[in-house]
């Protein structure tokens, strides 16, 4: 059977790449992965061999970062690391029959310069951003190459747009990172009205995001109604329990003792309680009725499940005002954000008004949730994206 190398450029891209890799392996291909940035933990989790020594960068790759974030990348050695990864890819290129690239122009460029036949999942680009996709130069040239066997996009609008622009068939078959949710009970709910809290995954940015979400909750705590709401933080290992306890203690929250679950911390502030979970994101998202988010992939998955998202713009380097605004264009009108505020206090007050409005719409307006679910299919697609992509690849490879 053929050997395939997965190239992915970014944390979210690694997740999609690992899921496609797993499906390719199930279909009998020998699959290895070369993450261009990041450690490739998603591949290790799926037991896919990662090529070369990997390194983590705080910004997660060049993109919607602050100027300071970009300088951090350069001085942190990311540019040199990128060149080394390109050299490694070129050196091992002959060991593989095909490349599968996930992400953007960087991973496409790697495949093109190696002169390999490649498949592309352009998860980083969407026509929803500006109405028409403006591919960075010279992406179009790479994708028109005879070496480019098939292109998959993250939404239908982009597939139609690129088919017209490139004059070659571009397909939308769904988003791999949604598959695991469709295989579970999408309607999994508890009796409480539950809100998922997603401060992101990159350290140290997650610290600022976490505190900003807490500031919103502290303002909400004066309203007795929020006694009835269950607030669940999804936290990554980068933020330790000792750091969490320190933050809550400084801010005057009361720790609730005698909790039997080792992956759970519970704190109270006036009328409001929050649960802090580690490594429990999927479960939190599935049972949430809506989400407060300062994250990338988490917000996409929430929208893909038809759950409204309330953004809070942060300082970055990733989740900035610019990133948040681009995310709203990408995911549609069910991502809500207080974006015109005078100062931080005004931002928090406007965010609270949004939270109350969304709860009202979810509970009292049936048409609102129907529209959320229609938007989910349009923006993120339906089930079995990995299987559909691999089946499509099999046809192309068979006829190659």
pLDDT at 73: 52
**Which residue shows structure tokens 């933050």?**
247
Name residues of the chain where pLDDT drops below 50.
59-67, 70-71, 74-75, 190
Among residues 283, 279, 340, 276, which one has the least CA distance to residue 313? 340
CB of 289 within 8 A of CB of 362?
A: yes
The pLDDT assigned to 67 comes to 47
CA gap 81, 297 in Å, rounded: 24
C-alpha to C-alpha distance for 285 and 279, rounded to whole angstroms: 12
Say what the pLDDT of residue 187 is. Answer: 52
Residue 62: the pLDDT is 46
Residue-wise pLDDT for 51-66, tens only, equals: 998 876 654 444 444 4
Strand 49-50, strand 30-37: pairing: parallel
Please report, in angstroms and rounded to a whole number, the separation of the first and last CA atoms in the chain: 14
In tens, the pLDDT along 87-142 reads: 999 999 999 999 999 999 999 999 999 999 999 999 999 999 989 999 988 999 99
């Amino acid at each position: 059977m053929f050997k395939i190398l997965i190239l992915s450029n970014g944390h979210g891209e690694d997740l999609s790449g690992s899921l496609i890799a797993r499906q390719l392996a199930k279909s009998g291909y020998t699959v290895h992965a070369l993450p261009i940035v990041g450690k490739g933990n998603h591949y290790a989790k799926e037991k896919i061999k990662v090529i070369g020594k990997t390194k983590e960068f705080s910004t997660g790759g060049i993109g919607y970062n602050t100027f300071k974030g970009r300088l951090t990348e350069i001085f942190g050695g990311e540019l040199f690391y990128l060149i080394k990864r390109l050299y490694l890819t070129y050196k091992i290129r002959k060991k593989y029959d095909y490349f599968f690239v996930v992400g953007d122009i960087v991973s496409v460029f790697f495949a093109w310069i190696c002169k390999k036949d490649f498949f592309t999942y352009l998860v980083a680009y969407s026509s929803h951003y500006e109405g028409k996709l403006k591919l960075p130069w010279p992406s179009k040239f790479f994708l028109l190459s005879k070496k480019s066997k098939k292109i998959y996009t993250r939404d239908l609008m982009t597939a139609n747009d690129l088919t017209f622009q490139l004059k070659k068939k571009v397909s939308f078959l769904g988003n791999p990172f949604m598959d695991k949710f469709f295989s579970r009970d999408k309607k999994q709910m508890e009796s409480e009205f539950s809100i998922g809290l997603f401060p992101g995954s990159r350290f140290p940015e997650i610290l600022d995001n976490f505190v900003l979400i807490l500031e919103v909750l502290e303002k909400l705590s004066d309203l007795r109604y929020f006694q009835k709401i269950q607030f669940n933080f999804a936290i990554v290992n980068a933020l330790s329990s000792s750091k969490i306890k320190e933050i809550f203690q400084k801010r005057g929250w009361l720790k609730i003792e005698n909790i039997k679950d080792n992956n759970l911390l519970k704190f109270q502030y006036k009328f409001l309680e929050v649960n802090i979970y580690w490594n429990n994101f999927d479960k939190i998202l599935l049972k949430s009725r809506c989400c407060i988010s300062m994250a990338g992939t988490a917000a996409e998955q929430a929208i893909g499940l038809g759950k409204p998202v309330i953004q809070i713009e942060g300082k970055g380097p990733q989740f900035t005002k610019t990133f948040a605004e681009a995310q709203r264009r990408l995911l549609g009108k069910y991502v809500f954000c207080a974006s015109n505020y005078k100062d931080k206090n005004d931002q928090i007050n406007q965010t609270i008004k949004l939270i109350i409005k969304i709860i009202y719409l979810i509970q009292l307006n049936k048409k609102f949730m129907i529209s959320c679910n229609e938007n989910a299919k349009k923006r993120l697609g339906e089930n079995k994206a990995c299987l559909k992509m691999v089946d499509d690849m099999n046809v192309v490879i068979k006829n190659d």
